[in-house]
Structure 1
């Protein structure tokens, strides 16, 4: 294949690509109100179940600054003792959360937003559980999220067109 002047052309290809990424560890503090007749002595343990993430949304603060809004819910099970440790019980509390993740990288050349993919990289867990003086339970939870923004983008490629001087068919 010979290359001669005029045998090169550029072609624009539109494709899906990862146009942005973000990663964040969240810490949320929640205060749980107990029923009036329950006065716990101590918290024996906590677990987090039933994590559900909502469809993430893009927050455009300006043309350059973008963030992804992450929201969802989980259920916290709090095992506690009362009556000087003679009785134990479990309190189940559904908790909603919402936070935003600043984009670490975002290709501003993308021409359309297709999809936002979220992955839990650190499952939610309770870091701290304390009974407060006003008979509430203070919980500090953490979890980690990784986000990929998949969008349409353009790629310019150089195409070499062979000359058909001789047909070798």
Structure 2
């Protein structure tokens, strides 16, 4: 049966994932507390907020987070917490893009697969600031309208006369699935 024949196929416009990407990054920030730090007692990131926008060949994740640094000063005799809100723009390239999608209907989303996390905090070489290393990772998707082609059976099929029954026992044994075969890479 030749599905290339226009009478035996239909073109359907539907919304689908037409682009995906993922990016892991490590960035460095310098925070200058009000007092010259003697030692760093802790550093953490809170209040992470972000949004995704389409940009060129990828998606930009635009966001902010607060960095809190607990430190000692005055020769380890006092402590304080330095707080600073930082903003960022992370460009995540789309590793896969459906070339036939309709760009007028694009919707983009981003998910922080690894929330920003402080992995290192040290006093700067000048002794007045704190250098923070932050890891973060985003997965992005672009949903748009695209065209799919489906085969059409000549004369259709009488589905109503067929006795279709599905039960949980038929092929539903998910414990036997090999996780190595399940590919969720982009």
**Residue of 131, 134, 146 corresponding to 2:139:** 146
The answer for the alignment partner of 1:122 in structure 2 is 114
Shift, 1:158, TM fit: 2.1
The answer for the alignment partner of 1:133 in structure 2 is 125
Matched position secondary structure for 1:84: coil
TM-score (norm 1): 0.82
Could you list the per-position Cα deviations for residues 77-108 of structure 1 after superposition, in whole angstroms to 9, with x for gaps in the alignment? 10001122221111111010112111111111
Q: Distance in 1 between matches of 2:120 and 2:109?
A: 30
Matched, 1:68 2:51: no
Looking at secondary structure, tell me which structure has more strand per residue.
Answer: 1
Aligned pair count?
Answer: 150
**Structure 2 gaps, min length 5:** 157-186
The answer for the alignment partner of 1:29 in structure 2 is 28
Shift, 1:142, TM fit: 0.8
Q: Distance in 2 between matches of 1:29 and 1:131?
A: 13
**Is residue 8–residue 158 contact of structure 1 (8 Å, CA) maintained in 2?**
no
The answer for the alignment partner of 1:46 in structure 2 is 43
Q: Distance in 1 between matches of 2:84 and 2:9?
A: 59
Looking at secondary structure, tell me which structure has more helix per residue.
Answer: 2
Structure 1 residues 101 and 7, CA gap change in structure 2 (3 angstroms):
closer
**Structure 1 gaps, min length 5:** 1-5, 61-65, 164-169
Structure 1 residues 151 and 85, CA gap change in structure 2 (3 angstroms):
same
TM-score (norm 2): 0.75
Shift, 1:33, TM fit: 2.3
**Residue of 87, 97, 103 corresponding to 2:88:** 97
**Is residue 63–residue 88 contact of structure 2 (8 Å, CA) maintained in 1?**
yes
Range with bigger deviation, 113-122 or 45-54: 113-122
The answer for the alignment partner of 2:171 in structure 1 is none
Shift, 1:161, TM fit: 4.1
What aligned pairs does 1:71-82 form with structure 2 within 5 A after superposition?
71-82=62-73
Higher RCO, Cα 8 Å, sep 6+: 1
- When the two chains are superposed, the root-mean-square deviation of aligned CA atoms in Å is 1.9
